[in-house]
Chains A and B, each alone.
Chain A
């Protein structure tokens, strides 16, 4: 298969970028999208040009490193899945493909298609954990947890931290990401002691990082590679309301 590519090139955060035309020729339909970019890079290298910078690591949809927008869609056309799981058989022969980084104010471009998503780490650092010192844990079976609760917690916990939700959102909101972590931990009895402070701190951290507000467009859910349901956003809102009430009663 052959493709015409328009790829975002930007030397670093400070300089401006632009779309540059490339071609990918004789690509097998069983090549993954990132392997197609590898091939383009080999060509560039052979011609003495600088290869296109893009991020990936596991290349199997679990680490959350890869992050590309293809023809305006975060992670490309094959949902649910990360862009490293997109195969060229999903494109038409001869198609023009536009490749850009995730565009979110809080994710500055590092180079070409690579962005800095450390804002997501800082949201977790604000409170996205259960304080459990090694050595203090009670016997694992001492607190039975109903299977439906743990299954739901697992659905939320499956988030791979890629940031596509924010990239797809017209407001660049990281609500789905934050909601997933808040819900995962709030659904488990172990998460209960810090339930109130956690949601308040995480939501404040999210705002402080400059992410936008959620206006329920659900673009996030549509691109999420981990199929995190937007209903967790409703859960986050309930958790936040409950926590605000408790905090104000305590004051």
Chain B
């Protein structure tokens, strides 16, 4: 059973912890490495970089993803950029400043030691990516260019046009391909992890389904690494890809891994507004747009129907500039999102359904010329025009917040290992570094930090004690897990009702968006907690999953994921209700400052909430474990972006 949660933070001064940890961590010698099998689930920035690096070090790695190629992981969609404390701009950046910005941006709900390490290795990531051939933007002199990004007062963001995630992932995919060709990494595309296998308390394997043939397989390993990304799709509509899911992490949770801060969800302020029921996803407009675009709505409700170009400047409310003069349009994501919701709730929103605000480039075009704006954001303006039919060089864009990133995830210690020994969790799938709110351009940084530079040091520390302990797939735990999964698939196929998966998933998403979205309160959360089991019942009685399990069956894939979302949603709401304070993206209406900002309660909640699954197959209220957070370097202050 789980005792107190020990994050295993090394002792010593903050700035020396990581070096001294590396100096003392146990190693696996080169000729022993090939005796270890490592399973890596996920081929995004986190999983791809981990698999490539571990393969290169000489371990035998197996990498799994649900797409038909590892290059298609959703990291590919990141647009804006990646942070690193290089201080190439000579504008006062440093490891310390990136660290303290991240701690404050996360509203004091992340671990100092982890965040400091992240800032420390950030510079190596840029070196690594450039060496791999990532074509980052450069200045005329040939040196790397930077921009400032969401909430930062220095320019520390590296970018490759509006396709930074794509270029970083391709760098990582190419490194992975090299290892696949070398035979150190075996790649399993279109293979979904459906369960974690725990043997004698250690994570030693997984159960998968081949999405093409329907075949269920068992894989044993010396350690399992989950890099399965975020669960924003629990809301049905989000900026995530259609296949993004909580299945891998949720099933690990059901096998004993703690789920930390599941309610911390980032709502991104600049997405294209929702246009109708049929819509299957929301599209992000990179917030780098906020560097040059000005956000406004009409001052008067009556003007909302007018064409924006007919509304003179003095009748516009540039509400971010007005409320947060020092950060203005670059205020952090949670603040900008809530401010947009507020003005729309006041009836001053624009576009269909009044759920939108303007992002206006007219001033920037006047100042810099259309050509410069085209160079900076051309592809984003094209995406916008494709989707909405509008030309944003001529009329302001319309934007609205959308679910984008999940700070919550499986609990991990400083070694990125969960409470289940052997189970490591990296990238968006873990909870560690972003606290209650992630800063822009920091997820790419974290995924690559974990995979290239942290896990390769911390994993051997576990493996060193595991020589020869890999079980066979004939072990009873593998057999049991396999038969459980077969039964679950049969149950899904047996329901044979009339409702479509989408209709139920949409209902769940709508409920969460209302009750556990941008702002939450106890009454709403209790309502959601009462309602979710009903939606789940409805699913298990009335949904229709056609076809069979022994075949390429996309409906069955989705059904499994929706079934997990339907359970996980309850955990999210439980967490949101228990966290009786506001912090970062978690805004409890009961707890706000007179100006309407998030009001933390550090005395009671400067702590991670890590939930343990209870109940034998059934869903019972989860058990709460706490990990207190200590702020020794950055002092607890109320965030202020005024």
Contacts and interface: CB of A to CB of B under 8 A. Distances in A.
Interface of A: 12, 27-28, 30-32, 34-35, 38-39, 42, 45-46, 48-51, 53, 55-65, 78, 81, 85, 87, 89, 110-111, 114, 116-118, 120-121, 124-126, 128-134, 136-141, 143-147, 150-151, 153-154, 157-158, 160-161, 184-185, 188, 190-191
B127 A139 contact: yes
A84 to B, nearest CB: 9
The residue among B70, B130, B163, B178 with the most chain A CB atoms within 10 A of its own CB is B130
B67 A57 contact: yes
A126 B67 contact: no
B642 to A, nearest CB: 35
A50 B498 contact: no
B243 interface: yes
A140 B127 contact: yes
A89 B389 contact: yes
B243 A57 contact: yes
A39 B278 contact: yes
Contacts of B133: 130, 153, 157, 184-185, 188, 190-191
Contact of A140 (B68, B130, B281): B130
A82 to B, nearest CB: 10
Interface string B261-290: 000000000000001101111011000000
B77 A58 contact: yes
Contact of B241 (A30, A51, A58, A121): A58
Nearest to A38: B280
B24 interface: no
Given A45-B555, A128-B174, A137-B127, 14 more contacts: A38-B502, A42-B502, A45-B546, A48-B544, A57-B72, A57-B74, A57-B241, A58-B72, A121-B70, A121-B189, A128-B177, A129-B178, A130-B174, A153-B135
B174 A31 contact: no
A64 B276 CA distance: 25
30 contacts: A31-B276, A35-B279, A38-B278, A38-B280, A50-B547, A51-B555, A53-B554, A57-B74, A59-B280, A63-B67, A63-B74, A89-B389, A128-B177, A129-B174, A129-B177, A129-B178, A136-B131, A137-B130, A138-B127, A140-B86, A141-B88, A145-B142, A150-B135, A151-B135, A153-B133, A158-B163, A158-B166, A190-B130, A190-B131, A190-B133
Contacts, number: 202
A59 B170 CA distance: 18
B139 interface: yes
Contacts of A124: 173-174, 177
Given A53-B554, A59-B280, A65 B132 contact: no
Nearest to A111: B552
Interface string B207-218: 000001000000
A81 B384 CA distance: 13
B199 interface: no
A2 to B, nearest CB: 15
A39 B139 CA distance: 47
Given A32-B280, A60-B77, A141 B144 contact: yes
A70 to B, nearest CB: 16
B28 interface: no
Interface string B543-556: 01011000110110
Question: Which A-B residue pairs are the 8 nearest by beta carbons?
Answer: A144-B142, A129-B174, A137-B131, A132-B131, A137-B127, A154-B135, A57-B241, A140-B130
B483 interface: no
A110 B279 CA distance: 27
Interface string B96-136: 00000000000000000000000000001011111111011
Nearest to A42: B500
A154 B134 CA distance: 8
Nearest to A30: B275
Interface of B: 49, 52-53, 56, 67-72, 74, 76-77, 86, 88, 124, 126-133, 135-144, 160-161, 163, 166-167, 170, 173-175, 177-178, 180-181, 187, 189, 212, 241-243, 275-276, 278-281, 283-284, 383, 386-387, 389, 452-453, 456, 498, 500, 502, 544, 546-547, 551-552, 554-555
A133 B54 CA distance: 11
Contacts of A188: 133, 135
Nearest to A52: B554
Nearest to B136: A150
A146 B142 contact: yes
Contacts of B67: 57, 63, 65
A65 B552 contact: no
Contacts of A161: 69, 71-72
Contacts of A27: 278
B68 A190 contact: no
A133 B128 CA distance: 8
B130 A62 contact: no
A144 B178 CA distance: 26
Contact of A118 (B68, B88, B142, B552): B68
A136 B453 CA distance: 12
B383 A60 contact: yes
A157 B135 contact: yes
B552 A114 contact: yes
Contacts of A85: 383, 386-387
The residue among A63, A117, A120, A126 with the most chain B CB atoms within 10 A of its own CB is A63
B64 to A, nearest CB: 15
Nearest to A185: B133
Contacts of A151: 135
Contacts of B70: 121
A27 B277 CA distance: 11
Contacts of B77: 58, 60, 62-63
A111 B554 CA distance: 11
A85 B386 CA distance: 7
Contacts of B555: 45, 51
Contacts of B137: 150
B546 A125 contact: no
A35 B278 contact: yes
Given A58-B77, A130-B132, A50 B283 contact: no
The residue among B49, B137, B279 with the most chain A CB atoms within 10 A of its own CB is B279
B74 A130 contact: no
B128 A147 contact: no
B71 A58 contact: no
Contacts of A191: 133
B457 to A, nearest CB: 10
A121 B243 CA distance: 20
A140 to B, nearest CB: 4
Contacts of B280: 32, 34-35, 38, 59
Contacts of B163: 62, 158
Contact of A125 (B88, B142, B177): B177
Contacts of B72: 57-58, 63-65, 161
A190 B53 CA distance: 19
A152 to B, nearest CB: 9
Contacts of A143: 130
A61 B166 CA distance: 11
Contacts of B132: 129-130, 132, 190
A62 B638 CA distance: 39
